[in-house]
Amino acid sequence: MGLFKKIDDKLGSNSRDHLDEIREGFKFDPGPRWGLGMDPDTIDTLRAGCAERQILVGVYASASSGTVKDRRIGPHYLYFAKGALYLVGEDLDDSKVKVFSAPRFKSVAMTDEVYTGSITTPEEYFQGAFGMYKDGSDAVEVIITFNKQIAPYVRERKWHSSQTVVNKADGSIVMTLHCQVNLELVRWVLGFGANGRAISPDSLVKSVQEESKNVAMIYD
């Protein structure tokens, strides 16, 4: 029995009717999401591994390394973010907690071996990270300015748990974060175009400059 069938069975007719009423009143932009679909059996196996604390074994295609290899994972929890489903768990080959994209599992099975490692919470694991992936670097103070054209849009959203915003007299804002400087942060800054500017640290400024030049070269 699939995960969503189990959820549907537990809801009952009254709850389903109430959810139908809500659905008619609220419409959502689904945003970017995984376009190739996810195998329901894979989701069921990952969920069961997390719920029963059983070690998972599978074949995983890594986007960062470009490799396909066998994995032994101590599952912590499933995490839904940015339109995709992820498994947070300990890679038992190197004893590091990592994020695995659920659709990248070529195959996965639950073993009879109990996982006895400590379970992190999302708040603990993603603390200091910007985005889904941690690169092992230390979190640092990050300062970015946004001009008055984009300031209302930026100010009204929570982009990171550490953010603080200072309003300037000219309508611009200064945002301060405490996070890692990684590629996701660089691309987030670049997403604002000329309306956002990285101020510090120098490593972020240089990375934004380099990435901007690489983009410009494509259109040169």
Per-residue model confidence as pLDDT tens digits over 173-185 = 999 999 999 999 9
113 and 13 housed in the same domain: yes
Q: CA nearest 61: which of 71, 52, 47, 51? A: 71
Per-residue model confidence as pLDDT tens digits over 66-121 = 889 999 999 999 999 877 899 999 999 999 999 999 999 999 999 999 999 999 99
Distances (CA, A) of 98 to 75, 122, 156: 10, 12, 31
14 and 108 housed in the same domain: yes
The answer to whether residue 85 is domain-embedded is yes
99 and 144 housed in the same domain: no
153 and 104 housed in the same domain: no
Domain boundary among 61, 86, 119: 119
**Phi, psi at 71, each rounded to 5°:** -130, 145
The answer to whether residue 76 is domain-embedded is yes
Rounded distance, CA 160 to CA 177, Å? 7
What is the predicted pLDDT for the residue at 111? Answer: 97
The domain that contains 155 carries what CATH number? 3.30.70
Domain hosting 173: range is 140-219
Rounded distance, CA 48 to CA 56, Å? 10
The answer to whether residue 128 is domain-embedded is no
Rounded distance, CA 97 to CA 79, Å? 14
Q: Which two tokens stand for residue 101?
A: 């994209």
30 and 101 housed in the same domain: yes
Q: How many domains is the chain partitioned into structurally?
A: 2
Residue 1 confidence class, pLDDT cut points 50, 70, 90: very low
13 and 56 housed in the same domain: yes
Distances (CA, A) of 134 to 65, 97, 208: 14, 10, 19
Helix, strand, or coil here: 168?
Answer: coil
209 and 112 housed in the same domain: no
Q: Are strands 105-114 and 96-101 parallel, antiparallel or unpaired?
A: unpaired
179 and 100 housed in the same domain: no
What is the predicted pLDDT for the residue at 84? Answer: 84
Per-residue model confidence as pLDDT tens digits over 189-217 = 999 999 999 999 999 999 999 999 999 99
The answer to whether residue 135 is domain-embedded is no
